[in-house]
Chain A
Amino acid sequence: MASEKSLSYVPLSSAINPSFFSKLSQLKLEVLKSEEKFVPIWGYTKLINDLNLPVNLIEVDSTSFNLHFLEHETHIPFYGNVQNVNTIEKFKNCDKQLLVDLEGAKFHEKLMNGDILKNPSLINWFHLLTYADLKKYQLYYWFAFPVLQNIVLRIARTCNITEEFSDNLVNDLYNEFKKLDSNQKPYFAVVKLQNFVQVNSLYETCNDWSFFKERELYFAFINFAPADNVGSNLRLYAACLVHFHPDLGNTEVNFIALNLGRNKDGVTLKSSTVYKLKLPDNASIDWSRWLGWEKNEKKNMGPRFVNLKKSIDPEEIMELSTDLNLKLMKWNMVPNLNLNKIKAAKCLLLGAGTLGCAVARSLLGWGVRHMTFVDYGVVNSSNPVRQSLFTFQDVLDSKPKAQAAADCLKSIHPGVVTKGYQMSIPMPGHLVNGEDIQEAIESVEKLDKLIDTHDVIFLLLDSREGRWLPTVLGARKQKIVINAALGFDSYLIMRHGIHVENATTPQAHNTSSRDLKSISGVNLGCYFCNDVVAPGNSTKDRTLDQQCTVTRPGVSQIAGAYAAELAVSLLVHDKGVAAPAYYSSKNNELDVDETEPSVLGLVPHSIRGFISSFEQFCPATEKFTNCTACSQFVMKNLFLNGTQFLLSIFNDSKQLERISEVPKYCDSIDNEAILDEEFSDWEIK
């Protein structure tokens, strides 16, 4: 017949919301990693299309990855899968035809097992292929809204709904439609009766087909195209109907393309269209051949590309990029690395000099977001070349070092929470009297509070005695304390043990294997224990800090980096501060696997290195019972007399030796000479 013509269709159009990319990146980085599997996602379109739009948009956003569609009665869900491939080559070269055919086969399976009949909204489906370049914030993507090839529907008749339904019936249809379950809304059957319409799900219609086929029956669907056009979803719908009811093949069937709009009375269906269409024969439908890849902006068959760098707030980009390099570690290198633990660690850096700057830089790289600096000095002209957080301008401004370091961190990464405190740390042997007493008390209280509110305490000061008070407080508060000290061409990095009330005398444990020994992290010696009782090779171990301002420039960078790495290894160790330190009593090389390592490897007690010979070793030592800083004697006095005790020590450091019963200990051993030498510097003020 001359009036018979085939329908033309308006394809669906995809729309990505900016939040989609962030969520996809997160999924890729944290869950999928290098996997390329299909992930179910949701899309949605509006039930009532926006006024002047020539197409219906299928939108995806951050909620697209939710387990369940965020149901909103004004939205129609679309079901899809996203596959993010790892390389641009894979994105370009993978067989797109095969991809929709395989996904189409899954759809056919759902048709055969009855899923589609029970939930016709599954007819709204899509596939999304992506390649996300997370470093450049670029996204290549290609949507497919698959339909069967070679489905031809011929129009026998078409008219506006009001020509076949009275106004009352149209209103009735909308009221009945509203009552439908959201899964049934997109596709359902309508029986037209004298004074009302009856709305049934496809499932009900199918179950009682011999009854319904005799009625004045219309198959309704939400038209994903502006009125007077028809969405491409109609073809798949028609094919499904012929599958459910083969007797509809080669016959003329009534359809209602529903277009919802608004008028002054509210929502209306009056711009909907009725079609009488001749359906294809069931046997002629080939369920294995699909098409439906979306055309790009240039109307070509090809993917779309978007650079989102300008769409994301630069501070957010900084945050994402910093995390990116760290999260990549988890893909293959260290899958079980707990980055959140590192990120959440609050670090207190006592000293903002060469070491302070180097440690802060390394921590920044690890994603640490909370750093506090304490330093008494101001930036002077010899600092900027060695201390990586300062510039010439800071010298001109005579900026306090702690403040300058914090400001610089902020300018490197605005997301860092950092503060600088210009204050001195009271030291044994540095007299306090008169007005100074109040200031010293305030300093002690301030430091006490700072140590309380941080998780990791770095001792990066330039004098030996400056480390005493934070060592004592850190042990008492059971914090992770990392100590770094420099010699001219040597360095020492060590972690401290912690104070435990009424602990028994620590003992090193022999392990099953050969000469391997371990000491619990709790019982490790502090800076002051270790320099009194020198381990093994006494020619190599010497007090390092005395020459600290005269050092080879690389030493502070090396030591700072080791201090940060040691802290991070300890943070991610299951036992935290109690992580045992293993050592070989015969100076043999350690097999890391035997040392209860953290996910990052060995967690030594101390690292001693020598640039002159480029040598390094990692001895471990226990607490010294008579230590002038971390022994039970000092802890007991601190507990009983608090600040008064500390003040008396500041004024008379000799007391420390008496309290710690060092003389008694010295009497009991032979090598007094070493001790005398070691303690001589307590008298330097």
Chain B
Amino acid sequence: MSLFNPEDPFEIDLISITERAAVFNVEIKRINAKMDNAIMSYKDFVTYIEAILAISNSTSDYWKLNVVNDNKFLTKKQSVLLENPEDINERLIATFEYHVVYNISYAVPVLCFDVWNQNGSRISLEDYWKYNKHLRDFNMHDTLTQTDHPALNRPIFAFHPCKTHEILKGFARTSKNPIVSWLSVVRHFVHLELLETYIKNC
């Protein structure tokens, strides 16, 4: 029966690492020359996320490349123990699904995420901040909202892309992979673990 054999929600497109590795370096150098202003073309975005995927595959990390309606984006699922700093008995295991997607109108990458409890119910933005009070004072707080996923067209939490330019600009000339550099900044707000290997190689 077809129900028992549903298609995987995402089409997984694993890239052959060895073949691509050499190409990446040349490609990325070329792109960097254009990066004086902090916008990023979709083509460049794809090059960067494929570079991340190659490293992920070589270190048994959990990034996956998804292709939906011709949109490529990265996802990674990761569970984290969250504690309410005001009451350490109040703790929960939250599972995040991170999406690194391209936003056409801002021409920047967007970090979206779903976050749910162990029983599958979604954690509201309010509850999320309860466990992350220490992050409230940063300006990023205002930019975390619920929006439509650019590729999946369903609601998802995301950092509004309006501040991404600012962050990207700082890395525009120095970073081999601005997406990694940008993630290394925003990851703290969503408990995203980013291995040193990515930063070393970018």
Contact = CB atoms under 8 A, between A and B. Distances in A.
A and B: partners?
yes
Interface stretch (A282-290, A305-313, A576-584): A305-313
Interface string B1-41: 10111101100000000000000000000000000000000
Contact of B3 (A14, A27, A52, A311): A27
A175 B60 CA distance: 13
A141 B93 CA distance: 18
> Which of B1, B93, B195 has the most C-beta atoms of chain A within 10 angstroms of its own C-beta?
B93
B119 A304 contact: yes
B6 A65 contact: yes
Interface stretch (B75-83, B137-145, B181-189): B75-83
**Which residue of A20, A266, A305 has the most chain B CB atoms within 10 A of its CB atom?**
A266
Nearest to B5: A67
A30 B4 contact: no
A26 B61 CA distance: 32
B116 interface: yes
A19 B114 CA distance: 12
A264 interface: yes
Nearest to A308: B121
B196 interface: yes
Interface stretch (A43-51, A187-195, A611-619): A43-51
A198 B105 CA distance: 56
A306 B121 contact: yes
Closest 8 CB pairs of A and B: A16-B120, A306-B119, A311-B122, A15-B118, A311-B121, A50-B79, A18-B120, A306-B121
A474 B124 CA distance: 52
B196 to A, nearest CB: 6
Among B8, B61, B80, B119, chain A packs the most CB atoms within 10 A around the CB of: B119
B120 A306 contact: yes
Interface string B94-120: 010000000000000000001011111
Nearest to B82: A52
A46 B62 CA distance: 9
Given A26-B3, A306-B121, A311-B121, 17 more contacts: A15-B95, A18-B116, A31-B1, A50-B193, A51-B193, A53-B81, A55-B93, A57-B93, A57-B118, A62-B9, A66-B6, A139-B120, A264-B197, A267-B59, A307-B121, A310-B121, A310-B122
A54 interface: yes
A215 interface: no
6 contacts: A31-B1, A50-B80, A59-B95, A262-B60, A267-B59, A310-B124
B190 to A, nearest CB: 13
Nearest to A66: B5
Interface string B40-70: 0000000000000000001111100000000
Contacts of B195: 262
B118 A18 contact: no
Contacts of B4: 65-67
A18 B3 contact: no
B155 interface: yes
Nearest to B95: A15
A384 to B, nearest CB: 34
A70 B122 CA distance: 24
A267 B9 CA distance: 28
Contacts of A52: 80-81
A17 interface: yes
Nearest to B1: A31
A23 interface: yes
A483 interface: no
A311 B9 contact: no
Given A310-B121, A311-B121, A17 B116 contact: yes
A556 to B, nearest CB: 39
A164 to B, nearest CB: 24
A249 B114 CA distance: 49
Nearest to B3: A31
Contacts of B9: 19, 62-63
B158 to A, nearest CB: 15
B79 A15 contact: yes
A62 B193 CA distance: 25
B153 to A, nearest CB: 10
A184 interface: no
Contacts of A53: 79-81, 93
Q: Which has the most chain A C-beta neighbours within 10 Å: B4, B61, B114?
A: B4
Contact of A311 (B6, B8, B62, B116): B116
A30 B8 contact: no
B177 to A, nearest CB: 18
Contacts of B122: 18, 310-311
A214 interface: no
A14, A16, A63, A310: residue with the most chain B Cβ atoms closer than 10 Å: A16
A62 B6 contact: yes
Nearest to B123: A311
A607 to B, nearest CB: 38
Nearest to A14: B118
B8 to A, nearest CB: 6
Nearest to B155: A313
Nearest to B79: A50
A65 B3 contact: yes
A16 B119 contact: yes
A51 to B, nearest CB: 6
Contacts of A260: 60
Contact of A20 (B6, B114, B120, B154): B120
A512 B6 CA distance: 48
A648 to B, nearest CB: 50
A262 B60 CA distance: 9
A21 interface: yes
A589 interface: no
Interface in B165-185: none
B80 A264 contact: no
A31 to B, nearest CB: 5
B6 A63 contact: yes
B120 A13 contact: no
A495 to B, nearest CB: 33
A262 B62 CA distance: 13
A597 B121 CA distance: 46
Interface in A274-293: none
A248 B142 CA distance: 62
Contacts of B93: 13, 15, 53, 55, 57
Contacts of A15: 79, 93, 95, 118, 120
A264 B196 contact: yes
Contacts of B197: 264, 266
A50 B78 contact: yes
A357 to B, nearest CB: 31
Contacts of A313: 154-155
A129 to B, nearest CB: 15
A73 interface: yes
Contacts of B118: 13-16, 57, 297
A138 to B, nearest CB: 10
Contacts of B155: 313
A585 interface: no
A587 interface: no
Interface in A1-58: 13-21, 23, 26-27, 30-31, 46-48, 50-55, 57
A57 B96 CA distance: 13
A74 interface: yes
Nearest to A65: B4
A30 B58 CA distance: 41
